[in-house]
Amino acid sequence: MAHMTDAPKDTSHPLPDFDLDSFTPYRLAVAAKRTSEELARQYRERFGVSIPEWRVLVHLAHTGDGTSVKDIEGRVQLEKYEVSRTAKRLAEKGLIAKTAHASDRRLVQLALTDEGRSLMAELLPLAKAYQAEIERRLGSAFDGLEAGLDSFLGDDA
């Protein structure tokens, strides 16, 4: 690609102005990272649970047991290989159990163990409190944020 002389440094291309700080994808990325990390600190340090693990656990807590990897894929915005690996880790930690589906043995059934359930019984209220704190912090701006996010997520998630 056009590798001209390196000598005359400036003048050549008067690059257009561009302010990263007002670039929506960047702003979303930073906001997402902040909230995720702020929350993740709570359950990473206290429970040793990562974000993908958290997502899978929430889904299992929400939809009940007997969910397959395929069911979770997409619903929590994880690729199937991520779900697979996450499930493996959660099983190793004793938080979920993996069993083969009775009639279709391609499917793997995921279910919270008792230990997983009691962990979620502690975690979910924390998450709810965090959500409440966000809403409080944003005040009247919260509804606008929600409406904006709806436009992005409208299709499927």
The footprint of DNA on residues 84-113 (CB under 7 A) is: 84-85, 87-88, 98, 103-108
Q: Which two tokens stand for residue 81?
A: 């290989």
The footprint of a copy of itself on residues 63-82 (CB under 8 A) is: 65, 76-77
Exactly one of 70, 74, 85, 148 binds a copy of itself (CB under 8 A); which one? 148
Query: What are the Cα distances from residue 127, in Å, to 28, 88, 120, 121, 148?
Result: 20, 24, 10, 11, 22
Does 144 sit near a copy of itself (CB under 8 A)? yes
Count of residues near DNA by CB under 7 A: 24
Nearest CA among 92, 90, 89, 60 for reference residue 75: 60
The footprint of a copy of itself on residues 5-44 (CB under 8 A) is: 5-6, 9-10, 12-13, 15-21, 23-36, 38-39
Whether 42 contacts 130, CB under 8 Å:
yes
Q: Which is nearer to DNA, 27 or 33 (CB)?
A: 33
The footprint of DNA on residues 33-52 (CB under 7 A) is: 50-52
Please provide residue 62's backbone torsions phi and psi, each rounded to the nearest 5 degrees.
-80, -45
Q: Which does 73 bind (CB under 5 to 8 A by kind): DNA, a copy of itself, none?
A: DNA
Helix crossing, 80-92 with 51-63: angle to 10°? Answer: 90
